[in-house]
């Protein structure tokens, strides 16, 4: 039985992970972590499906429970993720990272941790989204320079980073397929005045409104035709199922950095 710990256990994603783990054969929730000062510290993790409510109590320090799990699933914030990666590496624990918005230096620190443990890090763990990464890459390689490329995304009003990590990953997949330097061609919004659209640009647009879980669309527009690749998430279960799938895949790995393309064998 694979023992899993989760961060943000009392949050929306944490609660979804609790439910998915409870209903996935071969895995069990063995530890739950929340931020220091949370009102949920010391409370039992709740299930809505009849599972023992006293099985796991929420703590505020990963060090207190590091001996209780095999793999940590972390959907928290960049600073916490880096700290958790350091602890997991020191104790040889694997990690699934769904946190977005990490800086380049924070990503480097997570990658350093992967030299001592196996880490699966992805901007989005939904199987459908990862298939879209591959489809966008294929479309870009076929369509080449004959299309304008736009990536739009919509999320709930509380999401802090924009564009989303998923939108950026889509852009990087497309840029790689076209042989373009992503940092040189990424454009965030359409210029209000002046220049004509750059033919090589990959243009991003973001909306933050209501309770939208996550919508992403890649538009390839040419003279006379348009191709759209769209993914819409109606709840967080798709992300949680993917994260648990990644945890199971990661369980028999040694060390190294992986992503969902590895898990789904889409490379």
Catalytic residue positions?
A: 155, 159
Phi, psi of 29 (to 5 degrees): -80, 125
Residue linked to tokens 């279960």: 237
Distance CA 245, CA 120 (A): 11
Report in angstroms the alpha-carbon separations of 5 from 40, 80, 242: 16, 14, 15
Contacts of 51 (CB under 8 A, 6+ apart): 22
β-strand pairing of 225-233 with 256-258 = unpaired
């Amino acid at each position: 039985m694979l023992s899993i710990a989760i961060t943000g256990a009392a949050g929306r994603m944490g609660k979804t992970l609790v439910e998915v783990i409870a209903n996935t054969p071969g895995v069990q929730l063995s530890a739950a972590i929340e931020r220091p000062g949370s009102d949920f510290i010391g409370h039992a993790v709740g299930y809505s499906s009849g599972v023992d409510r006293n099985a796991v109590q929420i703590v505020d320090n990963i060090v207190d429970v590091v001996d209780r799990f095999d793999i940590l699933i972390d959907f928290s914030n960049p600073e916490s993720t880096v700290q958790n990666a350091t602890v997991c590496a020191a104790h040889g624990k694997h990690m699934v990272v769904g946190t977005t918005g990490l800086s380049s230096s924070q990503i480097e620190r997570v990658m350093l941790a992967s030299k001592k443990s196996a880490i699966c890090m992805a901007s989005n763990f939904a199987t459908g989204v990862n298939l879209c990464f591959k489809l966008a890459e294929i479309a870009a390689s076929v369509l080449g320079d004959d299309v304008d490329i736009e990536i739009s995304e919509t999320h709930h009003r509380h999401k802090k980073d924009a564009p989303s990590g998923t939108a950026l990953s889509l852009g990087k997949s497309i840029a790689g397929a076209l042989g373009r330097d992503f940092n040189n061609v990424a454009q965030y919004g359409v210029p209000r005045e002046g220049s004509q659209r750059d033919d090589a640009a990959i243009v991003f647009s973001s909306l933050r409104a209501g309770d939208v879980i996550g919508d992403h669309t890649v538009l390839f527009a040419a003279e006379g035709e348009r191709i759209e690749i769209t993914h819409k998430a109606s709840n967080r279960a798709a992300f949680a199922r993917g994260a648990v799938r990644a945890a199971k895949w990661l369980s028999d790995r040694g060390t190294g950095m992986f992503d969902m393309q590895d898990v789904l064998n889409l490379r």
